[in-house]
Structure 1
Amino acid sequence: MLYSSVTPGQKREVLRAGLRSGRIQQFPGAFNPLSARLIEDKGFDGVYISGAVLANDLGLPDIGLTTLTEVATRAGQIARMTDLPALVDADTGFGEPMNVARSVQELENAGLAGCHIEDQFNPKRCGHLDGKNVVDVDTAAKRIRAAADARRDANFLIMARTDIRGTDTLAAAQDRAKALVDAGADAIFPEAMRDLSEFEAIRSAVDVPILANMTEFGKSELFTLTDLESAGVNMVIYPVTLLRSAMGAAERTLETIKADGTQKAAVGSMQTRARLYELVDYEAYNRFDASVFNFKVPGGH
């Protein structure tokens, strides 16, 4: 009831253990707190919180317009609704190294299990779009070093994302990954890898866990879990999948209402009232007040 009974420290330990387990960890992207609970209910390993989703939910493009306060607040609301560890996209760290340090501590305070910080500069753009720009290796390393030095819980995961493959060679991406690990990164997120051999190349370059971004409509093929495991990937995220699914369903329902004058034809594809009440644990609140849940949920609703 209310929020997770698992402490942030325990969630961070679970994330670390999962990355050591030898089994690839699946982190679907939550677009709100309720979807995080659904991800847990379906048996996934963790919850991913995408910077693009947080921006898009505010009606903004993913170009670095969101603030630390907005991201930490919303990410905290999502993380506290699940027993699973939550990894959040911290963009470029919201400023210079001192800002990065503060960002890490605010995300710790918000209950996140870890974050990733990238090597683009503002205005940034989606990792699977052309025309990206990355900072030099010293600047990127300073961000990661500041993040690693600032955390107070040694289990808070500092992941370094590099977008350099979009502007340079695979060898450059390998060199950047090595430099970021040397700066203190616990894991590497190589963005926009073009095929499995590129993931394998990053795997051969570093000894820390690596992440694969399986976003739709991007530069990477949507590889299976088996494919990614064979390439040595330790974690896979599906960052915008649920938001796209939900918005697609919402758009189709609105079109039905507009065309038919009623939502009746769309009701069969909706989440039922009973299932919604189950996810929010409506009945458990009865322990505090018997008047809260003293009714039967109508069947089929």
Structure 2
Amino acid sequence: MRLRIFTEPQQGATYDTLLSVARATEDLGFDAFYRSDHYLKMGDVTGEPGPTDAWITLAGLARETRRIRLGTLMTAATFRLPGPLAIAVAQVDQMSGGRVDFGVGTGWFEEEHTAYGIPFPGLNERFEKLEEQLQIITGLWRAPAGETFDFEGAHYRLRESPALPKPVTADGPPVLIGGFGAKRTPRLAATYADEYNVPFHKPDDTAAAFGRVRAACEAQDRTRPMVYSAAQVVCCGRDEAEVRRRADAIGREVPELRENGLAGTPQELVDKIGRFAELGAGTLYLQVLDLSDLDHLELIATEVMAKLS
């Protein structure tokens, strides 16, 4: 089981804070550092000093880390045009030496669109745009060298694009698609994704979502492997007092975290991670909400990750 650190900088984090977490992620042996792609805080926090852009952040981290993979859960397709987004991701991939993963979704948080003047169409149109973006971005990356790329869709049109720059690998960065939808999400994942992620659901619900994607892959006669993953908020402590202290720091209740996330002693986390592994998850994203608590990461690395086979 690969463990990856997943952050929510819109809740209040500077680039320097994210750099500290990313360096700890690398030094402690975790597989990757991921961040959300949001422009507005959620819940009862100030969000100060304000949002940081996901791909600008990852560009900086690409030059200040050496081993860990870097990615998004999930880039909002509503935020950026597909051509410039393909350029940005390919450039960050080059800057990192090929360590980028590209997680992308429809976008869902209407208030952040309103706050920053970003159009927010209905769900059907967002899914249509997401699929066209997937076709365009992967098409630009995979177009043979020296050939141009054209695309004619309902929402985007490209003519004689030089399809540059190229990412490090010929197929481009791995594509992640996530969500819990019953129809469109499984089809998009089976068609375009290298990894399918279920965020913040219990194991039984996660198993059902994995099953829908497996069925979609079979329906398409897909032959290339799919990575299955889950994301869970994490709150670990050596004893109950430490668990409670960390839950208080993120404004959550311990019983609720135990039920809906990864919370408790290191052994409790090992046991629950094992349940996700039994479902076929090969990667787990640990949502770390208190970015000042680097001791939390060290505890997970030494007492949880070290015990996973």
The normalised TM-score by structure 2 is 0.54
The reply on whether 1:116 has 2:103 as its aligned counterpart is yes
**Alignment match, 1:148:** 138
Shift of 1:192: 3.7
Secondary structure in structure 1 of the residue aligned to 2:285: strand
| Alpha carbons 1:190, 1:202 under 8 Å: kept | yes
Aligned residue among 254, 277, 280 for 1:232? 280
Q: Find the residue that maps to 1:226 and give its secondary structure.
A: helix
Identity of aligned residues (%): 14
Are residue 83 (structure 1) and residue 67 (structure 2) matched? yes
Instruction: Give the secondary-structure state (helix, strand or coil) at the position aligned to 1:29.
Output: strand
Taking the TM superposition and a 5 Å limit, the aligned residue runs for 1:1-301 are 24-29=1-6, 31-51=17-37, 59-60=49-50, 70-80=53-63, 81-89=65-73, 91-93=75-77, 94-111=79-96, 112-121=99-108, 123=110, 134-136=123-125, 137-151=127-141, 152=166, 153=169, 154-162=171-179, 165=180, 173-193=181-201, 195-207=202-214, 208-215=226-233, 217=252, 220-222=260-262, 224-243=272-291, 245=293
Task: Name the CA distance, whole Å, in 1 between partners of 2:55 and 2:40.
Answer: 10
On the 8 A contact 2:229/2:284 being kept in 1, the answer is yes
CA contact (8 A) 1:45 1:84 kept: yes
Question: How big is the shift at 1:234?
Answer: 2.0
Q: Is the 8 A contact 2:35 2:54 kept in 1?
A: no
Confirm or deny: 8 A CA contact 2:194 2:227 kept in the other structure. Answer: yes
- Which runs of no fewer than 5 residues in structure 1 stay unpaired? 1-23, 126-132, 166-172, 249-301
Cα distance, 1:92 vs structure 2:
1.0
Give the drift of 1:200: 0.8
Q: CA 1:192 to 1:39, structure 2 compared with 1: closer, same or farther past 3 Å?
A: closer
> Within 2, Cα distance between the matches of 1:144 and 1:244?
35
- For residues 76 and 54 of structure 1, what CA distance do their matches in structure 2 show? 21
The one-letter code sitting in structure 2 at the alignment partner of 1:238 is L
Aligned residues: 201
Cα gap change, 1:113 to 1:158, in 2 (>3 Å):
same
Q: Deviations over 1:42-69 (max 9, x none)?
A: 22222223335997876336xxxx5xxx
- Unpaired stretches in structure 2, ≥5 consecutive residues: 8-16, 113-121, 142-165, 215-225, 235-251, 263-268, 297-309
Amino acid at match of 2:229: L
State the shift of 1:159 in Å.
0.8
What residue identity is the alignment partner of 1:45? D
> Does the CA contact (< 8 Å) of 2:36 and 2:75 recur in 1?
no
Distance 1:123 1:99 in 2: 23
Larger Rg over CA atoms: 1
**Which amino acid in structure 1 is aligned with residue 32 of structure 2?**
G
CA deviation after TM superposition for structure 1 residue 244, in Å: 5.8
RMSD: 3.5
More strand by share: 2
Q: Is the 8 A contact 2:101 2:175 kept in 1?
A: yes
SS at match of 1:233: coil
Structure 2 Cα separation of the partners of residues 27 and 100 of structure 1: 24
In 2 relative to 1, CA 147–89 (structure 1 residues): closer, same or farther, beyond 3 Å?
farther
* CA distance in structure 2 between the partners assigned to 1:88 and 1:110 by the alignment: 16
Change (3 A) 1:60 1:245: same
Counterpart Cα distance in 2 of 1:89 and 1:174: 19
